Structure 1
Amino acid sequence: MSSATAAPSAPDEHTAVPGDAGATRLLAGWHATGRRADLTDHLRRHGQPPVATTLGSRTSMQLMQAVESAGLTGRGGAGFPTARKLRAVAQRGGRAVVVINAMESEPASRKDQFLLAVAPHLVLDGAVLAAVAVGADTVHICLPRTRAAQYRQLSTALDERHRACLDPVRLRLHALPHAYVSSESTALVRWLNGGQARPQESPPRTHERGVARRPTLVHNAETLAHLALIARRGSDWFRRTGTPDEPGTTLVTVSGAVATPGVQEVALGTPLATIVDRAGGATEALGAVLLGGFAGTWLAAEDVCTPLTRRDLAPLGAAPGAGVLIALPHSACGLSETARMLAYLAAHSAHQCGPCHFGLPAVAEDFTALAAGHADPDLLSRLDRRTALLPDRGACRHPDGAARLAASALHTFADDLDQHLTRGACAAARRPARIPVPPAKPPETWR
């Protein structure tokens, strides 16, 4: 196996960390060759696309049953059963649409970017297969316009498939405005319909009326790549790794205080500590880990033995989320790191509803004051009240993620919290940030 080396601050988009060979599926080609797979490489490794070899003798319903038996769930963050989404669109009738969500707006995540860079045809196979299964004639591929190199790479992959006459459906590549909320599924649909790349309230839901008012299936890149492998190798093969309740592998972007940050493919159920070890181990004593990214959950260092499954993480108020694990050293200030992330989330909201327009900036402002040791006597009770009001009130889930991050920080860094409230900012708060946070400014345009 080969692996590139990334900068210590964040994983490079072309970095993969070797892991358990038995759990290497999506990234098998990269680990075997160390290079991107063009169409020739892809066909040599995986054979002809499932659309050509399978759907001629297997109905779409049988394919959905295979995905259901495999237990595949969405790898974009919500973890919704993939087969249920397929059926929901297929049962609407009429001509549907498929959207590949490759926006990956979570700042700490590189997994979908990496997968599309090294195995684009696996993702595209899955999208075409899903399109045929739900009765779609078009697949829209949505990328942020800030990633010009990724756009060129995918354009090349689409040209290869076009010359080979592989696909029975149309594949269209789009470059969208890049903001945290522009990766939300309704934001993609809204933009493809000629509007702004901001979330919109439902109903109607995307599977009911989406792009061009047609039933629309939206999946992230990793989910579709898994679907392509299930179609080729079957549900029993997929379930050979992972846990009985949560089978398969998942991609995780590991960064922070680890020796080899990068993207790993791990079996679900792998302890978080093992994931840290496969990233070369911690470079300093750990104080906490952030699981799920900027909209995720802080976990105390003693919780790193927890397996990476929704079932095991639920008692801790956490979930795999967007597939991000950030190791925070004990020498860093978790409250300061959280304040910077909350300021970013507040700036990147859609500003369309009360929780985003008023609640998020207020929470971010209070957290900034707390991190700086400028807390007033009512700050903690105010933060508790405001974070409790944010979830389930917005047009999308953006406020929910920010509230989860803030609440988990108050719990995990309780000892630091007492000092910041009573004696001013700790010494670690004055040190350089350990988690890279993009500039806290909204996009110049939502179109």
Structure 2
Amino acid sequence: MTSVLLERAPWETAPALPRLLGTGRKLAEHREAYGGIPLRTFAGEEGRARLIQEVTQAGLRGRGGAGFPTGRKLASVASGKKTPVVLANGCESEPASRKDKTLLTHAPHLVLDGAVLAAHAVGAEKVIICVERGGSLPERLERELAQRKGDPVKWQIARIPRRYVSSEESALVHFVNSGDGRPIAVPPRPYERGVDGRPTLVDNVETLGHIALIARYGPDWFRELGTQTDPGSTLVTIGGAVAQPNVYEIVPGMRIGEVLDAAGGATEPLGAVLVGGYFGTWVPMPEGWSMPLSHDRTGPGGVTLGAGAIFALPADACGLAETARITRYLAEESAEQCGPCMFGLPAIADDLRSVAFGRCGPATRQRLMRRIEMVSGRGACRHPDGATRFATSALTAFAEDLETHLNGWTCSGVSRDPMLPLPKARDRGWR
């Protein structure tokens, strides 16, 4: 089916929540709900600049973890001297999240429309969709792309190694350029010099889906939901001790308790909630019940939605044991290209395990904090920063348990089955 170029849709046809997941997967269903791609509305150089301006006015932040303003990223790529490239990041290597895979499964053409519009805005002629290799998603996307005969871009699917750090933006560029899925030191950043030395826009697939909606309905419509600094809606994966674990579309500014209620509410008393995935932050309960959530890092306590994963931990589970297990996983998933990852993260993981299982003394705290301080901010990529943020938040959220463990006692929760999800089979290669 050939894409149809239509003018902007009227507001009265704009979807209420869910905005992103409200239509079927097939192209015909998508076109019936949203119409064609509104490229005619943004024709020419002035139109491209206006599209970037509208995304900027909408206040859209990236939905991949960092929450960077999308309009600024578009403008930076568009200002380059060479023809840019667009990378749509759908890898979602975060084990606690499946929002991006859900979006690509249930509304792939909204993402693909957004990729076309982003490419148009920056002047790119090629879009590379990055997804983890294995599984059925790459083949399904190929079938969906085969239907889009009229798109003004060249499509490519890159099958990325299933490693935690391989979805980092410099790792994606490195893989496309060399076949090696490890991150590289920056600068230059991808928006300066990325794929084939060209300015490269790397955007999460959910971010692209929002661009498709902003182009159709405008920035004022987008700002009808959310907060002043983080408008719109966003997808989250809610797991753990809730009645209905799943992917949900929520509104930034909702409080933790409200978000958990969207998943049917907690099924037992909670000790903490992990917000933002394994680079995120532990928030103790019930104190954090009323904490608002958003992608804005200037929010309460610097807690952000990050990768969009929210996990409810029961009060009788051991948060320190869970943190030790995940920190060990993060240490094993590092690219081992610099000292902080090669030596620092394994040492921190060892200390956390000693703390969790009571095989330590009061001096362990000082050694652990010293190691965290030495690692944070010193890696070649953001991996050690995310891991240390996660570990540090556990020492605060589980402060009372920490004192008990440091005195040689362990809580009953250490014998409970592990709760936070990890991949069952790991891809140990980088190519």
Conserved in 2, the CA contact under 8 Å of 1:347 and 1:442? no
3-state SS of paired residue (2:147): helix
Q: Determine if the alignment matches structure 1 residue 82 to structure 2 residue 70.
A: yes
Q: TM-score, normalised by structure 1?
A: 0.90
Provide the residue aligned with 1:176 in structure 2. Answer: 160
8 A Cα contact 1:344 1:438, kept in partner: no
The 5-angstrom pairing of residues 61-210 of structure 1 reads 61-146=49-134, 148-161=135-148, 165-210=149-194
- The one-letter code sitting in structure 1 at the alignment partner of 2:19 is R
Q: Name the counterpart of 1:269.
A: 253
Per-residue displacement from partner, 1:338-381 (whole Å, max 9, x unpaired)? 11100100000010011101100100111111111111442111
The one-letter code matched in structure 1 to 2:279 is: A
Against the structure 1 CA distance between its residues 405 and 312, is the aligned structure 2 distance closer, same or farther, given a 3 Å change threshold?
Answer: closer
Q: Give the residue type in structure 1 aligned to 2:320.
A: L
Give the AA of the match of 1:150: L
2:284 to 277, 283, 300: 300
Partner in structure 2 of residue 8 of structure 1: none
Unaligned residue ranges in structure 2 (runs of 5+) = 1-14
Look up the match of 1:14.
none
> Which amino acid in the other structure matches residue 89 of structure 1?
V
C-alpha separation in 2, matches of 1:239 and 1:41: 26
CA distance in structure 2 between the partners assigned to 1:202 and 1:425 by the alignment = 42
CA spacing shift, 1:340–1:53, aligned 2, 3 Å: same
Residues 1:346 and 2:331 aligned together: yes
Task: Give the alignment's TM-score, normalised by structure 2.
Answer: 0.93
* Contact 1:258–1:282 (8 Å) recurs in 2: yes
For 1:7, the equivalent position in structure 2 comes to none
Corresponding residue number in structure 2 for 1:15: none
Equivalent residue, structure 1, for 2:216: 232
Q: Counterpart in 1 of 2:7?
A: none
- 1:27 maps to 21
* In structure 1, C-alpha distance between the alignment counterparts of 2:171 and 2:373, rounded to whole Å: 25
Seen in structure 2, the aligned counterparts of structure 1 residues 166 and 54 have a Cα distance that, compared at 3 Å, is farther
What SS is found at the alignment partner of 1:294?
Answer: helix
Counterpart-to-counterpart distance in 1, 2:166 and 2:80: 26
Counterpart secondary structure, 1:124: helix
Matched residues in 2 for 1:312 and 1:140: separation? 29
Pick one of 372, 383, 387 that aligns with 2:368.
383
Deviation by residue 1:249-285 (Cα, 9 ceiling, x = unmatched): 1111000000000011111111111110110110000
Inter-partner Cα distance in structure 2 for 1:196 and 1:368: 32
- In the alignment, the residues of structure 1 paired with residue 71 and residue 145 of structure 2 have an alpha-carbon distance, to the nearest angstrom, of 26
The answer as to 2:60 corresponding to 1:60 is no
Q: CA deviation at 1:52?
A: 5.1
SS in 1 for 2:327: helix
Question: Could you say what secondary structure the match of 2:279 adopts?
Answer: coil
Equivalent-residue separation in structure 1 for 2:427 and 2:368 (angstroms): 27
Match status 1:422 vs 2:403: no
Residue correspondences, number:
416
| Deviation sequence 1:179-218 (CA, Å, 0-9, x none) | 0000000000001001410110112111111000111000
The question of whether the paired residues in 1 share the 8 Å contact of 2:130 and 2:160 is answered with yes
Q: Partner letter of residue 383 of structure 1? A: L
Match of 1:404 in 2: 389
> Residue 307 of structure 2 corresponds to which residue in structure 1?
322
Counterpart of 2:144 in structure 1: which amino acid? A
Task: Report the counterpart of residue 8 of structure 2 in structure 1.
Answer: none
Deviates more, 1:58-67 or 1:229-238: 58-67
8 Å CA contact 1:307–1:313 kept in 2: the answer is no
User: 2-side partners of 1:404 and 1:259: how far apart?
Assistant: 29
Give, in angstroms, the shift of residue 320 of structure 1.
1.2
Give the letter for the 2:141 counterpart.
L
Q: Determine the structure 1 residue equivalent to 2:351.
A: 366
- State the match for 1:286 in structure 2: 270
Take 1:280 and 1:343, find their aligned partners in 2: how far apart are those partners? 31
- Residue 152 of structure 1 and its aligned partner are, at CA, apart by 1.6
Overall identity of the aligned pairs, in %: 51
Displacement of 1:57 after TM fit?
9.6
Distance 1:401 1:312 in 2: 14
User: Which runs of no fewer than 5 residues in structure 1 stay unpaired?
Assistant: 1-20, 30-35
> Is this contact kept in 2: 1:348–1:442, CA < 8 A?
no
Q: Contact 2:361 / 2:408 at 8 angstroms: preserved in 1?
A: no
